[in-house]
Amino acid sequence: MDHFAIKDGVMHAEDVALPRIADAVGTPVYVYSRATLERHARVFREALDAVPDKLIAFAVKANPNLSVLKVLGRQGYGADVVSVGEMRRALAAGIAPERIVFSGVGKTRAEMAAALDAGIGQFNIESEEEGLELAELADAMGMTASCALRINPDVDAGTHDKISTGKADNKFGVPISEAGQIFGKLAGQRGVNLRGVAVHIGSQLGDLAPLEAAFTKLGELVTALRAAGHIITHVDLGGGLGVPYKQGERLPSPQEYGAMVARVTQGWGVSLIFEPGRVIAGNAGVLLTRVVRVKRGINDPFVIVDAAMNDLARPALYGAYHDFVAVEPDGSAMTANIVGPICETGDTFAMGRHCDRVRTGELAVFRTAGAYGATMASSYNSRGFIAEVLVDGDKFAVVADRIDAGSIMDAERVPDWLA
């Protein structure tokens, strides 16, 4: 459930009518709802009530906005980060370093050093090579890094190929068949306290079976590692739970996920870490856009909106579906191609979409844009970066300024020999 709804004929975010935001801030603009973020954070946490010892670390990549992180930090969430940039955001939002987990397949030495300096809670090591380098670095710094070894369980998550991470030929983690041997080698190194294992098989998962299969394999690995004399105190189960992008779409609920986790991990005797991203932030945001004009097409009309693939990349990148609805619907419908202004055909949000009728100058939103929206923006076609707004009840604030194309150009230099 989210807090974006039509009231008195106008779509609101909580108690703020979206045209108010468009008038004050301009379009396109991302709009997030604090009440929705808090609700999702609470529902996910309560779904895991049966898991006694846990850390829920929000996957910062899904929405790294400082205010969003602040809201989630206040809900007791930690952070799963994949770069020093994300780590700095989590720290700036007040998330305690020990509640930060550093994932990612290409951590640089400088990033590892910065994370050690910051005192983060856990490194998820993605390879033997990375583990050896971290051990050597931490030892040289006179520190011990708490670590988990990320396992590639070779499970097909059944999601889009580009967001699947747990198949044998994906770049993530170490093959489960070699996990025991690599764990043994790394556990013997000074500089690391290898205390557990981690897994993350993909994103926007619509079925719990692959997750259960991966967790079950992980449980067997924990037993084998313990039998080999290792002390396992932490297991990171990653993120990946999908969200409905279409009205009425049915996905596994957090409650079903929580029940499965409690059942599979019963008796493991570890502290569990979770890294949800989309399920917390996805439906807590919309992309508010204005129709530039409606152009006749051979078949359906083209609704050209002022948002584009540089603002919301998911449709162009993954063929992803985002609901497109009018902010002030008049009850009539149309079939249209929804496109942005960018000069390539990939800048298409939907073809032949049956949707609310919209006219030139009217406002509309792309729903479920709170995760992997603003964070994946680019400045392609010199369009700059759009603003982000957070709504809280009847008030709203700009929580990320629009960065116009001129400011980006200001960071460029023409060398003397070209002047």
**Closer CB to ligand LLP, 170 or 379, in the complex:** 170
How many whole angstroms separate alpha carbon 67 and alpha carbon 389? 10
Q: Which of 27, 204, 265, 337 binds ligand LLP (CB under 6 A)?
A: 204
**Closer CB to ligand LLP, 46 or 330, in the complex:** 46
Query: Across the strands, what pairs with 286?
Result: 31
Query: Across the strands, what pairs with 227?
Result: none
90 is written with which tokens? 């989590």
Taking CB under 6 A as the binding criterion, the range among 15-23, 24-32, 272-280, 336-344 that sits at the site for ligand LLP is: 272-280
**Closer CB to ligand LLP, 25 or 281, in the complex:** 281
How many angstroms separate the Cα of 111 from the Cα of each of 104, 137, 174, 329? Answer: 11, 11, 21, 49
- Interacting residues with ligand LLP between 236 and 255 (CB under 6 A): 238-241
CB 307 → ligand LLP: shortest distance, Å? 16
**Closer CB to ligand LLP, 238 or 254, in the complex:** 238
Decide: 197 and 273 in contact? Cβ < 8 Å.
Answer: no
Decide: 109 and 65 in contact? Cβ < 8 Å.
Answer: no
Taking CB under 6 A as the binding criterion, the range among 220-228, 274-282, 381-389, 401-409 that sits at the site for ligand LLP is: 274-282
**Closer CB to ligand LLP, 139 or 212, in the complex:** 212
Q: Which of 2, 80, 86, 311 binds ligand LLP (CB under 6 A)?
A: 80
**Closer CB to ligand LLP, 209 or 405, in the complex:** 209
Decide: 322 and 247 in contact? Cβ < 8 Å.
Answer: no
Using CB under 6 A as the binding rule, whether residue 278 contacts ligand LLP is answered as yes
Residue 355 annotated to the active site: no
Using CB under 6 A as the binding rule, whether residue 314 contacts ligand LLP is answered as yes
Q: Which of 277, 285, 340, 384 binds ligand LLP (CB under 6 A)?
A: 277
Q: Which of 1, 227, 298, 343 is labelled catalytic?
A: 343
- Interacting residues with ligand LLP between 364 and 393 (CB under 6 A): 371-372
CB 296 → ligand LLP: shortest distance, Å? 32
How many whole angstroms separate alpha carbon 71 and alpha carbon 75? 7
Q: Which of 65, 203, 265, 310 binds ligand LLP (CB under 6 A)?
A: 203
CB 128 → ligand LLP: shortest distance, Å? 18
The residues, any chain, with a CB within 8 Å of residue 37's CB and separated by 6 or more, are 68, 71, 72, 280, 281, 284, 370
Size of residue set near ligand LLP by CB under 6 A: 23
Taking CB under 6 A as the binding criterion, the range among 56-64, 71-79, 304-312, 360-368 that sits at the site for ligand LLP is: 56-64
Query: Across the strands, what pairs with 355?
Result: 334
Using CB under 6 A as the binding rule, whether residue 163 contacts ligand LLP is answered as yes
Structure-token match 């000074």, residue found: 190
**Closer CB to ligand LLP, 80 or 356, in the complex:** 80
Residues that bind ligand LLP (CB under 6 A): 59, 61-62, 80, 103, 163, 165, 200, 203-204, 238-241, 275-279, 314, 318, 371-372
Which active-site residues does the annotation give?
343
